[in-house]
Amino acid sequence: MRQSQLFTKTRREAPKDEVAKNAQLLLRGGYIYKEMAGAYVYLPLGLRVLNRIMNVIREEMDGIGAQEILMTSLQDKAIWEATGRWSDEVVDNWFKTKLKSGADVGLAFTCEEPLTNLMREYIHSHRDLPLAAYQLQTKFRNEARAKSGIMRGREFIMKDAYSFSKDVDEHNEVYERYAEAYMRIFTRLGLGELTYKTFASGGSFSKYSHEYQTITDAGEDTIYIDDKKHIAINEEVLNDEVLADLGVQRDSLREAKAVEVGNIFTLGTKFSDAYDLNYLDEEGHPHRVFMGSYGIGPGRVMGTIVEVLSDEKGIVWPESVAPFSFHIVALGYEDEAVKAEADKLYEALNARGITVLLDDRIGPSAGEKFADSDLLGMPKRVVVSKKTIAAGLYELKDRKTGEVTTIAHEQLIA
């Protein structure tokens, strides 16, 4: 993409009312636009990042056999009354509205109820199980505080997956596959080293749930890390019994602030009980379906990447989510030779399927272009100028390490 065509612009300062670092940098880079507190628009560059994050999640979900669907964000009150969760006393962050007829509808904040109800149509026999469905769907939550930029939105996309198994043993196998897929996802997204599988409170069917917590001061949770095992315990469940369970010593744990980027949860038969979701075994005897749920916030992940990987100059995208792999910075693009050389490199990289942003803007100074390039954070930067043309060499800079290599024209393209 040509930067001169990009309708978004970078800005030196973030809006005064924006306190979260992720939102400040993303707003300055033109990745997002703030509609109101807790509601952000993803602009062209931001949407490219979000889509790449969602595609990594998709690949890993498809890889363990979950099937992608898209449920409605409008939800039926009658369905929710079956579990008692329609009540504002039980769930305090509902957005609700009314149809013209006066009937109540809710805006999806999660989907256990409608999906369990839907599955009554498709689950009948032991042959139908196990199965899992997931979606990348807009969720609405009337969050009390929305000061964490895209890490806590009132409207945000969630990847929510739900598994349906014959019994607890089958569920435990499925659950383990999600646990492994989650670690692969966060590793691929560049958060592997800072992200810990964290023991958190379970429900009636399992002692623990597991949160995937990424260490950052921008997080709202406190976790206790065991570095040897690369696991953590949420402070909510830090007690002698849990320490003994996990075979860890209190003294060996390190306290840290962290953000929950994902979680996996054993639901058991809580929802299948409410909707009478049964299957028939080989002898024709009915049994309750055993469920699990698995969430990730792609926007929260994107905000977390910005929080933990950026430096004083701006964002540092991991290659796996960067909007473009290369940033070609043309200095003096108005010069015929510079234009020809920059265009040639741009087209050669594009032809090889390598994504490139070409700074072909006429007007900004070299200093401004470099500052913008650092702010935007593509993994590799190549400068094309009269000087590099005369030398027959390109300067290639790694955004993360700052390392500069000079490389012959042919070599770079090769």
Interaction site with ligand ATP (CB under 6 A): 110, 141, 143, 152-153, 156, 158, 260-263, 295-297, 299-300
Distance CA 23, CA 372 (A): 16
Place of tokens 């065509």: 5
- Closer CB to ligand ATP, 293 or 373, in the complex: 293
- Closer CB to ligand ATP, 152 or 380, in the complex: 152
In the complex, the smallest distance separating the C-beta of residue 184 from ligand ATP, rounded to whole angstroms, is 16
Structure tokens that stand for 308 in this block: 């933990």
Between the alpha carbon of residue 318 and those of residues 56, 249, 379, 400, 401, the distances in Å are 13, 35, 7, 8, 12
- Closer CB to Mg ion, 259 or 412, in the complex: 259
Distance CA 165, CA 272 (A): 11
In the complex, the smallest distance separating the C-beta of residue 149 from Mg ion, rounded to whole angstroms, is 18
- Closer CB to ligand ATP, 263 or 310, in the complex: 263
Distance CA 166, CA 287 (A): 8
Q: Where are the alpha helices (DSSP H) in 313-385?
A: 336-351, 366-376
Give, in degrees to the nearest 5, the angle at Cα 344 between 341 and 346. Answer: 110
In the complex, the smallest distance separating the C-beta of residue 117 from Mg ion, rounded to whole angstroms, is 24
| Helical packing angle, 44-63 and 168-188, nearest 10° | 140
Tell me which stretch binds Mg ion (CB under 5 A): 60-68, 137-145, 252-260, 306-314. 252-260
- Indicate the residue whose CB is closest to Mg ion: 260
- Closer CB to ligand ATP, 43 or 330, in the complex: 43
What does 297 bind: Mg ion, ligand ATP, none (CB cut-off 5 to 8 Å by kind)? Answer: ligand ATP
- Closer CB to Mg ion, 260 or 341, in the complex: 260
Q: Which of residues 255-274 bind Mg ion (CB under 5 A)?
A: 260
What does 300 bind: Mg ion, ligand ATP, none (CB cut-off 5 to 8 Å by kind)? Answer: ligand ATP
Nearest to 18 by CA among 9, 10, 30, 26: 26
Residues 6+ apart with CB under 8 A from 207: 245
Q: Which of residues 164-203 bind Mg ion (CB under 5 A)?
A: none
Distance CA 319, CA 321 (A): 6
In the complex, the smallest distance separating the C-beta of residue 284 from Mg ion, rounded to whole angstroms, is 40
Distance CA 134, CA 67 (A): 6
Binding mask 210-249 for Mg ion (x = CB under 5 A): ----------------------------------------
In the complex, the smallest distance separating the C-beta of residue 156 from ligand ATP, rounded to whole angstroms, is 4
Structure tokens that stand for 312 in this block: 């004083």
In the complex, the smallest distance separating the C-beta of residue 298 from Mg ion, rounded to whole angstroms, is 16
In the complex, the smallest distance separating the C-beta of residue 29 from ligand ATP, rounded to whole angstroms, is 19
Place of tokens 């070409």: 358
Place of tokens 């300055």: 28
Distance CA 371, CA 25 (A): 13
- Closer CB to Mg ion, 18 or 260, in the complex: 260
- Closer CB to ligand ATP, 158 or 291, in the complex: 158
Structure tokens that stand for 325 in this block: 């792999």
What does 46 bind: Mg ion, ligand ATP, none (CB cut-off 5 to 8 Å by kind)? Answer: none
In the complex, the smallest distance separating the C-beta of residue 152 from ligand ATP, rounded to whole angstroms, is 4
Residues lying near Mg ion in the complex (CB under 5 A) = 260
